Amino acid sequence: MTLPAQNLLADEASPYLQQHSCNPVHWRAWSPASLEEAKALDRPILLSVGYAACHWCHVMAHESFEHDGVAAVMNRLFVNIKVDREERPDIDQIYMAALSSMGEQGGWPLTMFLTPDGKPFWGGTYFPREPRYGRPGFVQVMEAVDKAWREKRASLNQSADGLTTHVGARLAGSHAATALDRDTLAKLASGIDGMVDRDLGGLRGAPKFPNAPFMLTLWLSWLRDGDATHRDDVLISLERMLSGGIYDHIGGGLSRYSTDAEWLVPHFEKMLYDNAQLIRLCNWAYAASGNDLFRIRIEETVDWLLREMRVDGGAFAASLDADSDGKEGLFYTWDRQQIEAVLGDDSALFFKHFTLSSPHGWEGRPIVHQSRSQQSQGVTQRERLMPLKAKLLAAREERVRPGRDGKTLTDWNGLMIAALAEAGRSLARRDWIDAAAKAFAQISAASRDDRLPHSMLGVRKLFPALSSDYAAMANAAISLFEATGDWNYVDRARQFIEQLDHWHADAEKTGYYLTASDSTDVPIRIRGDVDEAIPSATSQIIEAMVRLASITGDLDLQERAWKAAEHAAGRAAQQAYGQAGIVNACALAIEPLKVVLIDDPINPILVPVANRSPDPRRVDIVVPIGSEANRSLLPGGILPPTDKAGAWLCTGQVCLPVVTDPEELDRLLRRQ
């Protein structure tokens, strides 16, 4: 079949695809019809992958995709397919792996050239319209690819076949199961520790990403083995990034990464997943250190989330753009005169606690950040600084806002729901737990035939869900159960795992695929083992199964979780750094922790102790004194007595004696 010779993106659900609906390029979305068109025309495919908040995606769009001359070449030589990587991470991961296998540095926009049957043979990332930055011009690239396609097709097809086979083995292959080993986490944590920047935090060098999977590896290592260096790696990294320009000191929230080694100059896009993981890390850091910095940054980030990222119905949007009014960071940056005009005489107090910097190579207005001493003083002076920041925030709201990608991604929302529920428990913020519950309800209600969507935008929904969606929502349900004691959330988590088993399990029942069994438009059905900015789908699945088995005492589910973990460990054995999430999840499977708390719901004495000591390895089950319903079984099928307050800490199939004293429980949980 041949699709109409026009741009076909106007009716797509993705805001990113809609951004390109007025391009003169004859864009198609990824679909079976688009692939059939390439075969019918016997043309290679030009695949462009990006996302709405991506700065260089916008640059390439303005330079090339909006240019009539460039579009004419694209339309003449290729079938042009545009993909939102957030909507189709399965497609993105396949072709990003292909680019990496060619020895090229990955990134977005991802620009790949494919055979008509979707096999990659060459690619890159951003190409300027005219040759510069040491890169060839985009028209040159396309004409060279076309020449090679016409004159060396047999060779290109052979290369594409070999590359596709290699990517399939890397992303979808099976490996022998590996026995789960405590040493794996220790070795990985030691390796990561050796890469940490002791002064600036994060990994040495630039650019700097928060890298939550690595931070979790270090945190788990400290919790399990007591290595305080690994704890400090995380605390220092958080402190440094929260003082830098990567953190929005006026409005709250974290940008995706900094371009420099000092966390100073961010790419200003704000992603939902980064901020979900920031909230979780800061929650653990506050409990471990008592440093009010982490509590304050959680509060500011949640304020930003609820103010700017909620969509109708209560769920959360995907991202905020880096650009506004055509310039990166324009919304977030200030010069001294602007701040003085807003704050007047109070500007001296502001500049005592904040610094404006314009580092070498930065072409925008100065960036707000703090020195270490300013950050420390700012915590103690928070009450005096809050009115000043509120005035600056109000003034900033008058500016042209960056675009918001308002689509609701199920897996990213699952991460944020869990983070909100956990922080709400720890900091006694029932309003945050309620916000998490509302988002959960909206996404759950969007199911069709008991299947979750992957993405929603208003009434538009993209089905089917990915395995990461079911895993993230199962984990979210469990976190909401811990926060509320409502066993309906446990039932929902069980339903999500059932759907995961039905649509995503492999034939041997050794693990799961990212895409569903009835997804017809994927060239390779991949596992979802590789971490990106968030833990991999596989790691989230293992975590969800382990946590649910701990709550329910379901030995069959526990066995299936263990089997999935062993096979994932086998696949991750040769590339642990890229699959730290799997290593972390396997550590949870080896030593899952459970606390059963019998307490007075009106005047609890033990529950607040557990709430103040969050631990990513642990699930907490609260049962009211005197209750006969929904009592969690201790290992061995024992029902704990409910006639008085008590707490049982269990590791695997072993429980310690009951604890009734709050101080003793506090010591026990912190020692664990």
257/363 same-domain check:
yes
Mean pLDDT for 249-256 is: 97
Give me the chain's average pLDDT, please.
95
Assess if residue 6 is contained within a domain.
no
Residue 207 contacts residue 272 (beta carbons within 8 Å): no
Instruction: Determine the pLDDT at residue 631.
Output: 76
Q: Do 124 and 78 belong together in one domain? A: yes
DSSP letter for each residue of 577-618? GGGHHHHHHHHHHHS-EEEEEEE-SSS-SSHHHHHTS--TTE
DSSP β-ladder status, 593-599 and 618-624: parallel
Q: Report residue 326's pLDDT band, with 50, 70 and 90 as the boundaries.
A: confident
Contact 563, 518 (CB under 8 A): no
- pLDDT tens-digit series, residues 93-128: 999 999 999 998 899 999 999 999 999 999 999 999
Residue 431 in domain: no
Q: Which percentage of the chain shows pLDDT scores above 70? A: 100
CA dihedral 99, 104, 109, 111 (to 10 degrees): -50
568 and 603 belong to one structural domain: no
What does DSSP assign to residue 61? I
On whether residue 187 sits in a domain, the answer given is no
Identify the pLDDT of residue 574: 82
In a domain, residue 434? The reply is no
Q: What was the pLDDT predicted at 672?
A: 65
How far is it, in rounded angstroms, from Cα 617 to Cα 223?
A: 9
pLDDT tops 90 at residue 87 = yes
Answer whether residue 144 is part of any domain.
yes
The Cα–Cα gap between 514 and 452 comes to 14
Q: Please write the tens of the pLDDT for every residue from 563-594.
A: 999 999 999 988 889 999 999 999 999 999 99
Last residue of a domain, one of 590, 624, 646: 590
Count of domains in the chain?
4
Classify residue 570: in a domain, yes or no.
yes
Burial class of residue 79 (count of CB atoms within 10 Å of its CB; 0-12, 13-18, 19+): buried
pLDDT tens per residue across span 520-565 = 899 999 999 999 989 999 999 999 999 999 999 999 999 999 999 9
In the block, tokens 């996302």 appear at 51
In this structure, are 366 and 493 located in the same domain? no
Q: Among 590, 625, 656, give the residue marking a domain's end.
A: 590
- 373 shares a domain with 250: yes
Q: Look at strands 367-369 and 404-405 and give their pairing.
A: unpaired
The answer to whether residue 520 sits within a structural domain is yes
Q: Work out the average pLDDT over 7-21.
A: 94
602 shares a domain with 586: no
Three-state DSSP at 642 gives coil
The domain that holds 128 is classified in CATH as 3.40.30.10
33 and 115 in a single domain? The answer is yes
pLDDT at 76 over 90: yes
554 and 605 housed in the same domain = no
Q: Would you state the pLDDT for residue 13?
A: 87
* Segment 174-227, tens digit of pLDDT: 788 999 999 999 999 999 999 999 999 999 999 999 999 999 999 999 999 999
Note the pLDDT tens digit of each residue in 603-615. Answer: 999 999 999 999 9
Asked if 368 and 238 sit in the same domain, the reply is yes
Residue indicated by tokens 């509060």:
299
Judgement on whether residues 602 and 583 belong to the same structural domain of the protein: no
Q: Is residue 186 part of a domain?
A: no
Alpha-carbon distance values, 457 to 13, 213, 407 (Å): 6, 29, 5
- Residue 491 CB partners (closer than 8 Å, separation 6+): none
Average of pLDDT values for 298-324?
Answer: 97
Q: Which residues of 384-403 are buried (b: 16+ CB within 10 A; e: fewer)?
A: ebeebbebbbebbeeeeebb
Q: Are residues 584 and 607 in the same domain?
A: no
pLDDT at 338: 98
What domain range includes position 560? 440-590
Given 590, 624, 650, which residue is the final one in a domain? 590
User: pLDDT tens digits, residue range 476-493?
Assistant: 999 999 999 999 999 999
Q: What is the pTM of this model?
A: 0.96
Q: Is the pLDDT of residue 133 over 80?
A: no
Looking up residue 532, the CATH number of its domain turns out to be 1.50.10.20
Pair (247, 353) in one structural domain? yes
pLDDT at 399 over 70: yes
Asked whether 52 and 269 are in contact (CB, 8 A), the reply is no
